Amino acid sequence: MDREELLALDNSEIAKLLNEAIAAGKSKDEALAEYQLDAPELMKQNIFWVKDKFLARAWSGYTSTKRSGNEYAQAGDGWRGDDVKDFKGREVPW
């Protein structure tokens, strides 16, 4: 498989191939050299080296699914979220 065919794959498939090379006893640099990749190319594909393995992120940017409080919108006399509960699930006095 050449470099262009590799980059056409999903990032999780690329990470899987790189991790297979690691499991076969190659170092990180040897695995990258085998597929003709470098660190900037991995970052573009959202693939990262974490704790001795390659991880592919499903999407770039923020990955938390927890509410942060930034979901609130201004309504009437002030800033509010839900009418019943705040972002931590507590009852709201208004």
Q: Judge whether 53 and 63 are in contact, CB under 8 Å.
A: no
Each residue's pLDDT tens digit in the chain (94 positions)?
778 888 888 888 999 999 999 999 999 999 999 888 888 888 888 888 888 889 887 665 555 566 566 555 555 555 554 455 666 767 666 5
What is the distance between the alpha carbons of residues 66 and 43, in angstroms, rounded to a whole number?
25
Q: What is the pLDDT of residue 82?
A: 45
Q: Judge whether 19 and 48 are in contact, CB under 8 Å.
A: no
Q: What is the pLDDT of residue 51?
A: 87
User: Which residues touch 54 (CB under 8 Å, ≥6 apart)?
Assistant: 14, 15, 18, 19, 22, 31, 42, 47, 48
Q: What is the pLDDT of residue 38?
A: 87
